Amino acid sequence: MIYLDNNATTQVAPEVVDAMQPYLTELYGNPSSAHAFGRRMRSAVEAARSQVAELLGAVDASEIVFTSCGSESDNWAIGGFLEQHPVRRHIITTKVEHEAVRNLCQHLAEIGCEVTWLEVDRNGELDLDDLRKALRRETGIVSVMLANNETGVLFPIEEIGRIVRENSDAVFHVDGVQAVGKIPVNLREWPVDLFSLSGHKFQAPKGVGALYIRRGVKLPPFIIGGGQENGRRSGTEAVPNIVALGRACKLAREFFGHEQIRALRDHLEDQILNTFPQSHLNGVADRTKRLPNTSNISFEGLDGPTILAKLDQAGICVSTGSACNAESRETSGVLRAMKVPYDLARGAIRFSLGRYNTKEDVDHTLEVLAEVLNHLENS
């Protein structure tokens, strides 16, 4: 199998499996217990918190709260803020957020919040003047992703944060789920109040994420109960997963293969765009403005799900967009927001590379893709 769907999820790294394994077997204590066994669990959880804080460049480990996934972190950040400030019901977000933000904001609009949806252009980029114009005194929260999961397009979060700070009292939430582990993050320097991440996108298992809450920013608890996570999210801590997330953060900090992933992605993208005349890149052409691992390419006149199925038969895993809408035949909301014409949008394939991909993977994919496209065009 060749796995080019790393934006959907990633392989748990062997180093991460090794780190969490004892916590699935002999180290089964509860971090809240008063005995030495419990204290050992507590220190493992706190060590992991520091590892997450270091990767994000947070000032203090207490700014990190463990959650179950990226969607939970997003829901808590936005929903929690509105619960805390019921009169500041104006939300600003973009039309290309992940469903965890987009569908939540849609729901909030239905129950009485006012949502401003920022448009993107054909490259998937924002016009920051639209943001300036949308901000006002009663704006409560601005939620913008760092990296788009479908196209890899990066939003200029530092600049957006500065605009939010200069023009409003709004809290700034960033969905960093696709960016963490792939590009540097520095929350010490960035004007960001809340930041979501998810372990399974960067070599930790599914079922663990985190929300960064800048010191001084108040959010009501996400789960009320025994007071774990400093009263912010109750429920006995998922120690094996938390240890795994911490180890994955350390692994990400020590990873020096980013340039190799970028080179493989560039090779794949160049070869496709130069070889197949029906191919068109979705997202800004300037690669410094995209994640180094992602290429979203439309094959004009062809059907993305059919290409996906043919590649799948050959053992190659790709996606037609976000993993969440792979079942539906509807074109991607992100590509629709970018005004990609239907005939292109329906033929979109996302290739997302990861740390275990090789040049052979990419070359084999290119060979199979040539056969698939040839077959589909002549059938």
What is the contact surface with ligand PLP in residues (CB under 6 A)? 69-71, 74, 98, 100, 145, 149, 175, 177-178, 198, 209, 323
* Coil vs helix vs strand at 180: coil
Min separation Cβ 144 and ligand PLP, Å: 11
Helix 359-377 crosses helix 304-313 at what angle (to 10 degrees)? 120
Nearer to ligand PLP, 223 or 323 (CB): 323
Cβ-based burial of 62 (10 A; exposed 0-12, middle 13-18, buried ≥19): middle
Q: Least distance in Å: CB of 129 to ligand PLP?
A: 24
Nearest distance from C-beta of residue 293 to ligand PLP, angstroms:
13
Of 350, 286, 275, nearest to 320 by C-alpha is 350
How far apart are the C-alpha atoms of 114 and 185, rounded to whole Å?
Answer: 30
Nearer to ligand PLP, 197 or 369 (CB): 197
Residue 212 or 276 with smaller CB distance to ligand PLP: 212
Residue closer to ligand PLP, measured from CB, 145 or 185: 145
Residue 119 bridge partners (DSSP): none
Minimum CB separation of residue 92 from ligand PLP in Å reads 17
* Contact by Cβ (8 Å): 134, 116: yes
Q: Residue 203, Cβ neighbours under 10 Å: how many?
A: 28
Q: What is the nearest approach in angstroms of ligand PLP to the Cβ of residue 5?
A: 11
Q: Which entry of 69, 113, 249, 324 is annotated as an active-site residue? A: 324
- What are the respective helix, strand and coil percentages of the chain, to the nearest 5? 45, 15, 40
The answer to whether 317 is a known catalytic residue is: no
* C-alpha–C-alpha distance, residues 222 and 66, integer Å: 11
Are 82 and 141 within 8 A, CB to CB?
yes
Please identify the residue of the shown chain whose CB is closest to the bound ligand PLP.
70
Could you give the CA distance from residue 277 to residue 376 in angstroms, rounded to a whole number? Answer: 14
Cβ neighbors of 241 (< 8 A, separation 6 or more) are 20, 199, 204, 205, 207, 208
Question: Cβ of residue 242: shortest distance to ligand PLP, in angstroms?
Answer: 15
Residue that the structure tokens 């800004």 belong to: 284
Three-state DSSP class for residue 173: strand
- Of 271 and 325, CB closest to ligand PLP: 325
Q: Which is nearer to ligand PLP, 100 or 154 (CB)?
A: 100
DSSP assigned state of 216 = T
Residues annotated catalytic, as ranges? 324
